[in-house]
Structure 1
Amino acid sequence: MVERPEAAGDIVLVCEHASKTMPASLGDLGLDAEALESHIAWDIGALPVARGLSEALDGTLVAQAYSRLAYDCNRPPESPGAVPEKSEVFVVPGNTGLTGPERQARAEGLYEPFHAALEGVLDRRAALGRPTILVTVHSFTPVYFGENRDGHLGILHDADSRFADAMLQAADEAGLELVRRNYPYDASDGVTHTLQRHAIARGIPNVMLEIRNDLIAQEAGQKEWTGIIAGLVRRAAEKGREGERLHA
């Protein structure tokens, strides 16, 4: 789904794991209600923050309407993790032993329309000569395989670290603690597919954000972190414009 397509700002926001909704044709994939509400099904709190950032930064938002368990849109079709047979400690029976055509049907029904929508947004902006910064919004569980994660915000990048560098500098200048580079994942974990496909391929600045989900599970935390991140994005974008003027 594309929200605020005519937004005037430079930021395009993406939320690949926005929803826990399962396509009706897949049922519950053999999982119980607890699993389908948990972090394995979606990025808890990520969509409200992404929507808040869309409003605060006057940016277009592209979000996936279905669960990452049906198809993880931050993975290419050839990745085993695109349709996970196991997520953390949960076996996903409905994803086990799929045939090639069954996996292809998932990709055609979920991955391809999502990425086509994002490509359409970026193509229209490029045709109008509009500057663009791509920001993807995720959340992570505070306990993973029994290990605690104490960081609050991860600022991730692939080969192009320009915008991540500027955001990390802005966080340091603001005195924010527990903000870390490439945390709790990095590009070697295969988490930067959207950045690679849509931003690095076009040469546009980009960043992937990971917020600890207990901080944004409720409305108050969502508003707080929307404000914090919007400030960092604004400052990083300003630094980018300053750098362009210096090198002009």
Structure 2
Amino acid sequence: MADNTALSSQSAKASQSVELSNRDGNGPVVILCEHAAYDIPELYQGLGLAPMHRDSHAAWDPGARAVAIKLSAALDAPLIAGRVSRLVYDCNRSPESASAMPERSEVIDVPGNYNLTPAQRAARVDAIYRPFCSTVTDILTARAAGNVPTVLITIHSFTPYYHGQPRAVEIGILHDADARMADAMLSHSHRLPHRNIQRNTPYGPNDGVTHSLKLHGIGNGLANVMIEIRNDLLTTPADEDTLVEELLQLIRPALATFGLGIPPQEGARDA
């Protein structure tokens, strides 16, 4: 399946592929949500997916964007979210990674990703990945220039069954080489005794899921953490509110260990 590479304007690419909310948030956190959307732009012809798969967990992280937006408001944090399905390009993968444009996701084939040419892959990198990374870099650079302390948090969700096997974990606290924020959050997991909270589960560094943490967090010397939430816990707005309040019981005291408090909430500002 050939890609139409007509998108040439960098600003057009950014507006179509990246959502930036609460740009001027001054809290001590920047939030990323790479898998926030299941949209497949028309030029990719649905990637040849069956209709039932186009908005499935293979295409995005259900509930993750809603949680990220609510955390953004609670923490007065800028939020950078992807607008395009991770099956077109997964912004939590490097351009060199085969899983950046996967031919198969769990049990779902992605025909539109078969046998992509180097030029087709490069076009997707330019249209989706680079605008996402540039937006993150712009926010982090501005905060560094203003001496705003920053911890990087990425928000994801995962399916309760994988290859038919149930997953007991409900909240995963993931990290790569820098475990400071993860350690601090896990040290407060006793605050949520009803939750199954685990380190580097259901995924970990060996699964290639820490690209954003390494590139934007470790690469800039920032404490960082990836939060995974089982998506059957995020089926309603009330569910999302519950998980946000629970996550704040881990995030706020963890930030305090870095000497970082949260300013009084005034509501998030739009970009």
Please tell me whether residue 94 in structure 1 is matched to residue 77 in structure 2: no
Dislocated runs of 4+, deviation >2 Å: 172-177
Pairing 1:198-213 to 2, within 5 Å after superposition: 198-213=216-231
Please tell me whether residue 70 in structure 1 is matched to residue 88 in structure 2: yes
Report the equivalent of 1:161: 179
SS at match of 1:136: strand
Q: 1:184 aligns with which of 188, 193, 202?
A: 202
Please tell me whether residue 241 in structure 1 is matched to residue 259 in structure 2: yes
Please tell me whether residue 219 in structure 1 is matched to residue 224 in structure 2: no
> Shift in Å at residue 174 of structure 1?
4.4
Report the equivalent of 1:132: 150
The separation in 2 between residues aligned to 1:22 and 1:88, in whole angstroms, is 19
Give, as a single letter, the amino acid of the residue that structure 2 aligns with 1:31.
L
Task: Report the TM-score when normalising by structure 2.
Answer: 0.87
Whether contact under 8 Å (1:167, 1:236) holds in the other structure is yes
The separation in 2 between residues aligned to 1:87 and 1:57, in whole angstroms, is 33
SS at match of 1:27: helix
Whether contact under 8 Å (1:166, 1:240) holds in the other structure is no
Cα-Cα RMSD: 1.0
Whether contact under 8 Å (2:191, 2:249) holds in the other structure is no
**Structure 1: stretches of 5+ with no match in the other structure:** 243-248
Report the equivalent of 1:57: 75
Whether contact under 8 Å (1:4, 1:59) holds in the other structure is yes
SS at match of 2:116: coil
The separation in 2 between residues aligned to 1:226 and 1:177, in whole angstroms, is 13
1:17-50 CA distances to partner (integer Å, 9 max, x unpaired)? Answer: 0000111211211112210111000000000000
The separation in 2 between residues aligned to 1:15 and 1:177, in whole angstroms, is 22
1:99-121 CA distances to partner (integer Å, 9 max, x unpaired)? Answer: 01001101010000001000100
The separation in 2 between residues aligned to 1:82 and 1:111, in whole angstroms, is 9
SS at match of 1:112: helix
SS at match of 1:97: coil
> Shift in Å at residue 173 of structure 1?
4.3
The separation in 1 between residues aligned to 2:103 and 2:193, in whole angstroms, is 41
Give, as a single letter, the amino acid of the residue that structure 2 aligns with 1:213.
N
Pairing 1:110-149 to 2, within 5 Å after superposition: 110-149=128-167
The separation in 2 between residues aligned to 1:73 and 1:25, in whole angstroms, is 19
**Structure 2: stretches of 5+ with no match in the other structure:** 1-18, 261-271
The separation in 2 between residues aligned to 1:27 and 1:66, in whole angstroms, is 13
Report the equivalent of 2:38: 20
Report the equivalent of 1:245: none
1:99-158 CA distances to partner (integer Å, 9 max, x unpaired)? Answer: 010011010100000010001000000011110000000000000001000111000000
Q: 1:7 aligns with which of 25, 39, 54?
A: 25
Task: Report the TM-score when normalising by structure 1.
Answer: 0.95
> Shift in Å at residue 231 of structure 1?
2.1
Please tell me whether residue 43 in structure 1 is matched to residue 55 in structure 2: no
SS at match of 2:152: strand
- 1:61 and 1:41, CA in 2 relative to 1: closer, same or farther beyond 3 A? same
SS at match of 1:204: coil
The separation in 1 between residues aligned to 2:192 and 2:111, in whole angstroms, is 46
